[in-house]
Amino acid sequence: MPRNIPVLALAAALGLSSQAACAVNSPQQSSSGECRVDGAEKLPPEIGGADALCDAIRQAAAAQAPGVGYSVQIQVLSPSMLSARVTLADGRALPEQRHATMDRNLNPGSLQRFVNSLGAELAKAAAR
For residue 128, what pLDDT is reported?
84
The answer, yes or no, to whether residue 5 has pLDDT greater than 80, is no
Q: What contacts 49, CB < 8 A, 6 or more positions away?
A: 40, 43
Give Cα separations from 3 to 6, 15, 16, 56 (angstroms): 7, 19, 21, 57
For residue 14, what pLDDT is reported?
37
Percent of the chain with pLDDT over 90: 70
pLDDT digits (tens, 9 = 90+) for 16-48: 333 333 333 322 234 568 999 999 999 999 999
Sign of CA dihedral 15, 21, 26, 32: positive
Using 50, 70 and 90 to split pLDDT, how confident is the model at 65? Answer: very high
Mean pLDDT of 102-128: 94
The answer, yes or no, to whether residue 49 has pLDDT greater than 90, is yes
Count CB-CB contacts under 10 A for residue 95. 10
**Which segment of 2-16, 53-67, 83-97, 101-115 scores lowest on mean pLDDT?**
2-16
Beta bridge partners of 65: none
Using 50, 70 and 90 to split pLDDT, how confident is the model at 81? Answer: very high
Residue ranges of domains in the chain, CATH in brackets: 34-127 (3.30.160)
